[in-house]
Amino acid sequence: MKISVIGCGYLGAVHAAGMAEIGHEVVGIDVDADKVARLNRAEAPFYEPGFDELLAKNASGLHFSTDMADLASAQVHFLTVGTPQSPSGAADMTYVNQATEALLPYLSEDSLVVGKSTVPVGTAKRLWEMIEPTGAKLMWNPEFLREGFAVQDTLAPDRLVYGINEGDDDLVGVLDQVYKPIIERETPRLVMDFATAELVKVAANSFLATKISFINAMAEISDQVGADVTMLADAIGHDSRIGRKFLNAGIGFGGGCLPKDIRGFVQRAHELGVGNAVAFLGDVDEINMRRRTRVLDVLSEELGDLSGVTVALWGLAFKPDSDDIRDSPALDIAENLARAGAHVRAYDPEAMGPARARLTQSGLGDNITLVEGATDALEGARALVVATEWKAFREFDPAGAQPSLVVDGRNCLDRDSWKAAGWRYRGMGRS
């Protein structure tokens, strides 16, 4: 089957390569000519484990273009454009609207449009009304990619969600053909109405964000009373109703999904007149943002005035196995330290390029030095902050460096090993 993927950012590029991997002819459309050229050379425009190999392996079945006319012969069109946060907190639908408008001239009664972008509930119905005069049909098929696991989540998802309009049950078979190898592995497939399918993604992200902020709230209390939040999480995680996943206290969540999605969900709920139903998400967001300042509080408690103090920072990406710095707690901490007068020596295995570009824009680059390795970051530092839990940082031998203060922002280090090596250890909700 010939498939088009409109929008070749993180979601779209991985989805396009994944669809080629399971046997389809795929054309990816994007307005960014440089990105399109790189993808056509099988060069990933971002870091994602396994993605370069997937692109190269399927280069013969993949073509990327800036010309919408190149998708004219495709039967199924995936909408995968971004929905960034607007100043009001709502999802900015500009790119979804533009992509749909640009697609309309190429649609016919044999076409199926499949929305994958994270959108406010009610969007699918509105887009269906735009598409319906062409004779084409619309389905909503939300994505559930985790950065660092995107290839795995595309090729072996834990579920498939199909949103359909009333009376369009025959479309299920079409999307089943697209996902045939995945369906044949007995992947759970849930068919529902548009509104429910749209809510699945934001509800899932809101739940995960709530779980993270809950354990971070417990970390604040643990710091106050001298408890150990990691042992607390282990204990409550044994309850099968709760589970241990996403109960890792630290400096909070970031990235292009969770913060944006919960804020957009709150805004949409207010527009629908049911804002009180998700008012608690405001507290979830507040707790999360507060965690980013906790590191500075700990450093001040230990070192006093931070002006002129050199601090090593390990991590700039919002999570390991990614170069994504969107809403990154690590990069926020670097910038806040610089504003406090500290000099930061920072290193990240993959996010140096994106971080350098942001620091140029922020004007804080003079106080933040990006170095070539984890050991280089420690040079002259009175403290080390671990802000992204890369494997290389978790496995670093603390005995191989001059001991000082380590602030474990992700509670990812072997506390006993660092203490035994002479380091003063401070964790998040543990000491």
Catalytic residue list: 257
On whether the CB atoms of residues 191 and 162 are closer than 8 A, the answer is yes
Of 385, 377, 387, residue with least CA distance to 425:
385
Distances (CA, A) of 227 to 15, 195, 270: 44, 43, 38
Residue 384, class by beta-carbon neighbours within 10 Å (0-12 exposed, 13-18 middle, 19+ buried)?
buried
Token pair 């909408």: residue: 79
Residue 104, class by beta-carbon neighbours within 10 Å (0-12 exposed, 13-18 middle, 19+ buried)?
middle
Q: Name the CA radius of gyration of the chain, rounded.
A: 23
On whether the CB atoms of residues 15 and 5 are closer than 8 A, the answer is yes
CA distance 35 to 25: 20
Contacts of 375 (CB under 8 A, 6+ apart): 400, 401
